[in-house]
Amino acid sequence: MQHYPIFLKLHGRRCLVIGANKAAAQKSEDLLRAGAFVTIVAPNLDSSCIRVIERNKGRAYHRAEEFCPGMEHGAALVLSVSDDDATNQAVHESCCRQGIPVNVVDQPALCSYITPSVVDRSPLQVAVTGGGAAPVLARQVRAQIESLLPSAYSRLASLAGRLRERVRSALPDNEQRLRFWERVFSGSASQSILSGREHEGEAEILRLLQEEKENPNHQGEVFLVGAGPGNPDLLTFRALRLMQRADVVLYDSLGASALLDLVRKDAEHIPVGKRCGKHTLPQEQINSRIIELAMQGKRVLRLKGGDPFIFGRGGEEIEGLLELNIPFQVVPGVTAAQGAATFAGIPLTHRDYAQSCRFLTGHRRDGRVNLDHWAPFHTDETLVIYMGLKNLSSVCTQLRSAGLPANHPAAVIEQATLPSQKIVEGSLKDLADKAATHNLSGPAMIVVGPTVPLTSRLAWYDAISEEIDSEPVCGAKPEPSTASTSSSPC
């Protein structure tokens, strides 16, 4: 984070604008709307600045001279739009000596603060900035947010402000107030206000307040959310909404990193660390911890990689919730198999090569690999093996013993859907050795089947892709890949 976001209270304070062009008029208007007194410093004013002063007599002034060090004394903020480099440098140095926030437009090196693009639904405001590097992009993002926030949000925020002290007095507990306001903003009260029925909405808020005051002990709730294979862009809208509501999140290694940045900022984070046989907490303790937190009245987010019901132990985690009648929701996620195969350019089914697909696990509860149980395997189907990297050699051996040829195509996809994604392609005879050569550590998916060689043509994701020599594929129509490194544009 290059800049610390902050909103300054300028009401009744003096600000200086250096320069007298259209940009100076616009910046002055912004400062005046924030309640500041503005002095425009320039020998002469253009017409736009003259109009600003005429419209704001008593609050906007003109100082008809060039800037000199000392003029900034006592100012709460200084903004320069001068075309003169020497003037801009002098403004910057003078303000820095006195610790006055200063911005020289279009010169980031001379700015101690930046002015963001603002979506104004006062008292609700949303600021967007590109850190001075991409102002046009920031404006486009602002425009998108503008379309999502009706102007009626101003009325909703104003009403909440008027009732804030009343709510604080009735509900002294912070968490209880948080739950109350979330009920208000996500329920019928806010919809009434946004629809123009403000009196009706206010009455509903007061009813909810009385209800909350009389019944402060809410039962907790559990959100079992599939976070997908790792790329935050693959989250569902519902997953994101529940991530923003959670009081506490239990996450494993497959659902960490950038995904956690999307969880509510003040939520408690509890790592449970499920990855490749290394568990911070055993599954039974995870189940108990979820129940314990929910019984405390918390909204518990169980953030899981992939989909909770596909090798995610989601069924185990909700059994205890059902027994105790604890409310819960399950949100499906993009499965690790789908994400890995799609981002590697390997179709799971293809009418010319593979007419079926099976998801298998390379790791059982007792740690053994037992793929023979699902034999026989066929050369015209796709197999996706979860949690198989640790036992990759045994996985390949068992698939061969169950009927697949040694040169049957196979690949390991590590860090699927992320910029660090890596694909190691080979056959059942040599895949384990090639994976070891490339120091794969996971998380990873194993894909076996006749569509694997298509990755050389269909790989579309701009990521690290290792394509290794493989022998001719038995029963597969695609041409085998040759040794190369692929990095296709997204």
Helix (H) or strand (E) holding 77: strand 77-80
Query: Confidence class of residue 235 from pLDDT cuts 50, 70 and 90?
Result: very high
Q: Can you say which residues are annotated as belonging to the binding site for S-adenosyl-L-methionine? A: 229, 305-307, 310, 335-336, 387, 416
Query: Confidence class of residue 428 from pLDDT cuts 50, 70 and 90?
Result: very high
Question: How many degrees, rounded to 5, is the angle at CA 409 between CA 476 and CA 423?
Answer: 130
Q: Which two tokens stand for residue 271?
A: 């790592």
What's the average model confidence in pLDDT over 236-255? 87
pLDDT in tens, 267-287: 999 998 765 555 567 888 999
Q: Which DSSP category does 480 fall into? A: P
Q: Are strands 221-226 and 328-331 parallel, antiparallel or unpaired?
A: parallel
b/e map 153-169, b = 16+ CB within 10 Å: bbbbbbbbeebeeebee
Q: Can you say which residues are annotated as belonging to the binding site for NAD(+)? A: 22-23, 43-44
Helix (H) or strand (E) holding 427: strand 422-427
Query: Confidence class of residue 308 from pLDDT cuts 50, 70 and 90?
Result: very high
Q: Which two tokens stand for residue 124?
A: 């609700």
Greatest CA separation found in the chain?
A: 91
Domain spanning 14-115: CATH 3.40.50.720:
yes
Centre a 10 Å sphere on the Cβ of residue 359 and count the other Cβ atoms it contains: 17
- Mean pLDDT, the chain, as a whole number? 87
Centre a 10 Å sphere on the Cβ of residue 198 and count the other Cβ atoms it contains: 16
Higher pLDDT, 479 or 381: 381
Query: Confidence class of residue 377 from pLDDT cuts 50, 70 and 90?
Result: very high
Return the SS3 of 158.
helix
Nearest to 326 by CA among 356, 300, 354: 300
Pick the CATH number of 337-486 from 1.10.10.1100, 3.30.950.10, 3.90.1150.10, 1.25.40.10: 3.30.950.10
CB-side exposure of 345: number of CA atoms within 13 Å? 25
Q: How far apart are CA 465 and CA 21, in angstroms?
A: 53
Q: Can you say which residues are annotated as belonging to the binding site? A: 22-23, 43-44, 229, 305-307, 310, 335-336, 387, 416
Beta partners for 423? 413
DSSP string, 370-388: -GGGG----TTEEEEEES-
> Where in the sequence numbering do the catalytic residues fall?
252, 274
Asked whether residue 249 carries a pLDDT value surpassing 70, the answer given is: yes
- What confidence score (pLDDT) does residue 79 get? 96
Beta partners for 304? 226
Query: Confidence class of residue 366 from pLDDT cuts 50, 70 and 90?
Result: low
**Domain limits of the chain?**
14-115, 153-214, 221-334, 337-486
Nearest to 454 by CA among 477, 472, 483, 474: 477
Lowest model confidence (mean pLDDT) among 226-235, 404-413, 475-484: 475-484
CB-side exposure of 412: number of CA atoms within 13 Å? 29
Domain 221-334, what architecture?
3-Layer(aba) Sandwich (3.40)
Topology at the third CATH level for domain 153-214: Helicase, Ruva Protein; domain 3 (1.10.8)
- Answer whether 6's CB lies under 8 Å from 23's CB: no
pLDDT in tens, 456-486: 899 888 644 444 344 444 444 444 433 333 3
Q: How far apart are CA 236 and CA 467, in angstroms?
A: 31
pLDDT in tens, 35-91: 999 999 999 999 999 999 999 999 999 999 999 999 999 999 999 999 999 999 999
